[in-house]
Structure 1
């Protein structure tokens, strides 16, 4: 049977890269009606993959970390260039794919003298084959290795870049002189590549068609049974679990009362709700500065359900008051369990102007995301903090800083608490009766234990060596600082609440939080929103990564901040890497419709200027299940996106594996996320940075007496790239610690 040019099938070989789905999307845009199947490079050996090749029109070899000379990095790719004559198929390689092509035919692999990660170069080309009718190319490069082709050999260059004194001439594209193999060193799928993206893929497809016609290559008719081995194709549909059936019973409603209280603050509501009782759970998500708008305060009850889970366990712990039970996850993972739980809690008729009607609030650890990547946890220290720690909030108050309105709401039918609380808040809005926090008595100075500087700098050098070797483009290296604080004597209030108020005062942030879900207490002044999902139907996912910060100071105007941030090759490159990584994560779940709404915009915050990008993804409105209120799509998106790319580097999986060897402790709560999942279907999560957290074992406290010392942990670090200066990276980490340790009365100024 002849090739079906109208409905081609592509096999994309993924080398555990964080840009693979961006490349798949580019192919879908460039080759009409194509179907793409994606496999890992170590899923099959060459003898196993040979029987599948006759069913495909072409192969795409994607980018990835590592070296083409390391079999573990390239897997089956190295064998694709030496197929028997009857099995040869058109192949297009990107980055690692091009390097592997070159090495297979005698090219010499070298390190660049000056690494190019997230940098844009003007590409020169021959104007033929891949570059036929292609004009100027400005392409994004992510590589520390390159190939030097054999003069007169089987592979010849089609494009190159002149790096001058840095690296000289570097091959950017090549072709095999007799076989249907082509490749590019740069990344055509990057959001900032111009001129060498879709048109080059189209030219590859034209060349593949021409070769197949000339050689009379045929493609076998597709057999759906092949999907039992290869999996289903990548396409514009959610990769979530099957949708649940719509329940026959009508959804419950939300009881809401709206108050006009422009002076009401989250702190006032929190104190009225008992935040100063250190023994009780409490949750508050606080928009303490622009661009934050809504603050959410939960009014928890003795019967409020707390859900906890440690990675590696096959059960969930459910706690109400002092009673706890374990529920087996069974064959499900924790994400499916939570999705099923929330599917049963959906409500209707909440107020459309606010994002939260009730639902889960809490924290997810960094290690929960690490396990989602199938990366093993190799730290020997016992885990203290649950990796998933959420509470189901039935009663809540939402403050809209934009309008001055206060929403009092309950999920409990006929709940008199709504009217009682409305009266309480109305009375408390008068300055004469507003709660006061008082003054904490003086106490001994805290003891701050910083990371070992020489060890941290040595780890930076190790990270850079891994980057130079091609294992990563960027590694977000972190370390932990601990603070021991003597508790004030003869003081019955909540010291952690006062510490939060100090943190909020010194570093007001749009995504602040006070979350006390035993055994964890989290105080956060995070500036970074991670992932939000609008309420169904047709939800929109948005991520807002921050890479690049300038602290406000006299003379640091917007113009000065823009020059320091947008004008910095290093800052823009760091941001670009994470933008491309996030696009990949979104494409993995929602399919093709992913847009960069803002690239490297400078945003003003209370104390800093930040380099912020905005990426959005959504399903097509008519996609089956897109508006299904019980869809697990949102939880799948969260699972796929963790840990936050801005806290790992790229490619994500390889970077996380490297960081596991460079960092001495689990990150735990730090660089995970905190936020909510609403019973209306929306959600909002922020990155746990500029934060501190403590562990308190109530069972030990009861048996051994209350400790006289509070022990807090603070994580901080920075994105290490080939351009990083180790001493400057250390100073950046100390700067990031300043606002948090300042809440404890410590200054490094």
Structure 2
């Protein structure tokens, strides 16, 4: 029998690498279609009638244990198929462990867990390893399976020496068409032991089906209703049918060249010192940042506010506030529809932002998108909106590499304002009296409430228990520091102190009542270019070394790239991000850079770059917004697998993260966007301390906890990350 159109069923156990596995299957079997279901989506009775329409089943990895029904769902029943329902099955990690223990094997814990570890795989050279020589593969597991019966034939092992001894890495059932591997064939650092074994599996599956004259039945409409569309499936652009399409706005641009111009001067020219008004600065305060964006807001500039759970969006224009019903659509679709109507053309292609939405998205917005319950009392304690965006119609964009200032407006016939801006900019070089950094200002001492050290260390140890139990590979545990400071400095002056002490490529000063947000973030989360042929890029950072005398690039290379722990942390997030991109974009996702050392103003960072595009000829104007939606919260701030890791963190952490470890940035009316991770940042609520002589600021910090983490060293790392922001409050070295 020749199967003209292979059809695979991929069972997902809530892993964060599932779409990577789907992409690998599609590469190994180029003409196949793939349907994905969750392991608790259907019972075995629901599934059985559908199996005649599939060529094979792929059972993916996931958190937890194959011994626990809630972790594997229908998977445990799949291995018990009757002869008339039988079809080839391939299990990965959790799927493979389930295969072994359901056929008489034993499940055991590794003495030394392997999360993001690369191992040499020893194999028989037969079966799924046919024509393969040396195999190097990535492992993510706390448990391992040992076949105690002759039903499972061992095909591959890893020699962990004194750590774990010989660990089974692959096997097959002796009489049924079942195969599996313990390692992750879909990981970016797994070699031909990934793609090649899937091809070998498919050859064996076809051979088995041909011998039995097994023919596929078509998937009828009722089956498709249960299964949903095949992967990859591009969601349609979100636009409510009640909104009419309007002609695109033309961007008006004027360019002024001002060598030596300072972005702080421009902000003060635009009235940043008037603290009764909102103000927006996205500041490339250090390399590799290039463009700084300053909004020139109108008294009627639209602000869009939303809190998770609301069935409305709040719209503010100056003192006017109204609520608009979401009318059954979600907030992401509402904003996408808004931006479709705001679309603009004719801006300078050299400028990333022509106007559009700028603001913040909270961490809890991403938590909610994972269908994880939020804290019940969060409305009482979280004073900051989960979405706070401003629609910017006038802006100045400074290109720090060319000293050009782009004056831009989305308003018609706005030349009077633009000419006035040009005149004011030309006056700036003579305004040398403006203080570039407030170094001569006296900083009143701050009252610093650090997290309790013993409590934090205990949570690290609890996190490591979850890692050892297989519930996560990495947990990004955080805690909040609270500062109470006298009103001796304005928030703008504090930002200038922060900018001076800790310059960063993704700095920001966002004064959006009721929140004021200051950032010196080093980490871009996601950027996406304008259509057509939109390119999405994510740049996760895992691994940081502060600059100091004698700390050269070579030293940073050795300390970071030479560290098994640091590389494993970075690898896990790279694999997670690839999954997020594959889920939206399909096949065209590539790791452009892995664990390269980049130089920043005050640190060396280990940065990876992952890029993705839609298939050629496909256009989706809100593509970047959809990728952002599917990628929150940032994987570098959660760990992997993301859903289970976030659930664990919700139980371990005492407070909502709020703006911390969410994202901030922009969505341009031309279609592009750029969002950064809200780390090395602080924020306050304006009304909370309006009648007090003291201001209350919040700073979040933490670190990626792995099985290799030392709890005391993690506490020290968390304190180190606080220093740059605390310096703006005169509290860089608080007593512990």
CA distance in 1, matches of 2:33, 2:238: 22
Partner of residue 184, structure 1: 181
For structure 1, which runs of at least 5 residues remain unmatched after alignment?
Answer: 489-493
Alignment of 1:23 onto 2:21: yes
SS in 1 for 2:344: coil
Aligned pair partner of 2:533 in 530, 538, 543: 538
2:264, 2:436 within 8 Å by CA — same for their partners in 1?
no
Check whether the contact 1:157–1:173 (CA below 8 A) recurs between aligned residues.
Answer: yes
Matches within 5 A, 1:614-633: 614-623=609-618, 626=619, 628=620, 631-633=621-623
Question: For residues 349 and 76 of structure 2, what CA distance do their matches in structure 1 show?
Answer: 55
Report the Cα distance in structure 2 between the residues aligned to 1:364 and 1:664, rounded to whole angstroms: 20
Whether 1:635 aligns to 2:635 is: no
Structure 1: distance between partners of 2:645 and 2:718: 19
- 1:674 and 2:664 matched: yes
Does residue 426 of structure 2 align to residue 411 of structure 1?
Answer: no
2:159 & 2:120 partners in 1: Cα distance? 8
- Looking at structure 2, the residues matched to 735 and 436 of structure 1 have their Cα atoms a distance apart, in angstroms, of 26
Which of 193, 199, 204 is the equivalent residue of 1:202? 199
Residues of 1 paired with 2:432 and 2:650: CA distance?
54
1:581 to 2:580 alignment: no
Query: Which of 154, 157, 178 pairs up with 1:157?
Result: 154
Aligned to 1:234: 231
| 1:138-153 alignment runs, 5 A limit | 138-150=136-148, 152-153=149-150
Query: What is the match of residue 466 of structure 1?
Result: 466
Aligned equivalent of 1:723, options 702, 708, 715: 708
Q: Deviation at 1:634?
A: 2.1
Quote the residue 1:84 is aligned against.
Answer: 82
C-alpha offsets along residues 413-470 of structure 1, whole Å, 9 cap, x if unaligned? 0112111111101111334465777777646411000000000000000000000000
C-alpha separation between the residues in 2 aligned to 1:528 and 1:13? 34
Q: How does 1:196-275 map to 2 (within 5 A)?
A: 196-235=193-232, 237-241=233-237, 250-275=247-272
In the alignment, structure 1 residue 572 sits paired with structure 2 residue 567:
yes
CA distance, structure 2, for counterparts of residue 440 and residue 121 of structure 1: 56
| Map of 2:105 onto structure 1 | 107
Instruction: Note the alpha carbon deviations across 1:382-422, whole angstroms, 9 max, x for none.
Output: 22000000000011000001111110111110112111111
Q: Give deviations 1:595-639, integer Å, cap 9, x for gaps.
A: 10000000000110000000000012212xx1x5xx332221111
**Per-residue deviation, 1:216:** 2.5
Q: Is the 8 A contact 2:297 2:393 kept in 1?
A: yes
Matched residue of 1:27: which SS?
helix
Cα deviation, residue 223, structure 1 = 1.9
Aligned match for 1:556, one of 551, 557, 568: 551
Which of 95, 118, 121 is residue 120 of structure 1 equivalent to?
118
SS of match in other structure, 1:460:
helix
Which secondary structure state, in structure 2, belongs to the residue aligned with residue 680 of structure 1? Answer: coil
- Paired positions, count: 730
SS of aligned partner of 1:599: strand
Tell me whether 1:660 sits opposite 2:660 in the alignment.
Answer: no
Cα 1:649–1:689, aligned 2, differ >3 Å: closer, same or farther? same
2:454 alignment partner in structure 1: 454
The answer for unaligned runs of 5 or more in structure 2 is none
Q: Distance in 2 between matches of 1:262 and 1:103?
A: 70
C-alpha distance in 2, partners of 1:332/1:243? 10
Question: Which one of the candidate residues 710, 732, 735 is aligned to 1:747?
Answer: 732
Post-superposition offset of 1:272: 1.1
Task: Tell me if structure 1 keeps the 8 A contact 2:315–2:321.
Answer: yes
Quote the Cα distance in structure 2 between the aligned partners of 1:526 and 1:168.
43
Look up the SS of the partner of 2:192 in the other structure.
Answer: coil
2: CA distance, partners of 1:432 / 1:606: 25
Q: How far apart, CA to CA, are the structure 1 residues paired with 2:345 and 2:266?
A: 25
CA distance 1:242–1:712, shift in 2 (3 Å): closer
Cα distance between partner residues in 2 of 1:400 and 1:339: 28
Q: Which residue matches 2:426? A: 426
The answer to whether the 8 A contact 1:543-1:616 is kept is yes
1:240–1:632 CA contact under 8 A, matched in 2: no
How much is the aligned-residue C-alpha RMSD, in angstroms?
1.6
Q: Is the 8 A contact 2:590 2:612 kept in 1?
A: yes
Task: Give the whole-Å Cα distance in 2 for the aligned partners of 1:422 and 1:536.
Answer: 30
What residue in structure 2 maps to residue 499 of structure 1?
494
**Are 2:735 and 1:737 aligned?**
no
Q: 1:462 to 1:506 in 2, by over 3 A?
A: same
Partner of 1:491: none
TM-superposed CA distance for 1:277, in Å, is: 1.5
Map Cα deviations across residues 488-517 of structure 1 (whole Å, 9 max, x no partner). Answer: 2xxxxx611111111110110000000011
Contact 2:239 2:334 in 1 (8 A): no
The residue correspondences of 1:240-639 to structure 2 (distance < 5 A) are: 240-241=236-237, 250-378=247-375, 380-381=377-378, 382=380, 383-415=382-414, 416-432=416-432, 434=434, 442=442, 444-488=444-488, 495-623=490-618, 626=619, 628=620, 631-639=621-629
Q: Deviation at 1:238?
A: 2.3
Q: 2-side partners of 1:71 and 1:741: how far apart?
A: 47
> Aligned partners of 2:245, 2:228: CA distance in 1, in Å?
33
> SS state of the match for residue 197, structure 1?
helix
Q: What is the SS of the residue equivalent to 2:259?
A: coil
Task: Name whichever of 241-250 and 711-720 sits farther off.
Answer: 241-250
Q: Aligned to 1:113, what secondary structure does the other structure show?
A: strand
Determine the structure 1 residue equivalent to 2:675. 685
8 Å CA contact 1:6–1:32 kept in 2: the answer is: no
**Does structure 2 retain, via aligned residues, the 8 Å contact 1:546–1:646?**
yes
Give the C-alpha shift of residue 348 in structure 1: 0.6
Q: Is the 8 A contact 2:239 2:333 kept in 1?
A: no
Q: Is the 8 A contact 1:427 1:433 kept in 2?
A: no
Whole-Å Cα distance in 1 between the matches of residues 397 and 234 of structure 2? 31
Q: Within 1, Cα distance between the matches of 2:120 and 2:446? A: 54
How big is each residue's C-alpha offset from its partner over 1:27-59, in whole Å with a ceiling of 9 and x where there is no partner? 000012000000000000101110100000000
- Residues 278 and 549 of structure 1: is their aligned pair in 2 closer, same or farther, counting only changes over 3 Å? same
Q: TM-score, normalised by structure 2?
A: 0.97
Query: For 1:196, what is the secondary structure of its paired residue?
Result: helix
C-alpha distance in 2, partners of 1:651/1:97? 15
Cα distance in 1 for residues equivalent to 2:245 and 2:376:
48
Q: Which moved more, 1:518-527 or 1:423-432?
A: 423-432
Q: 1: distance between equivalents of 2:364 and 2:732?
A: 31
Does 2:684 align with 1:694?
yes
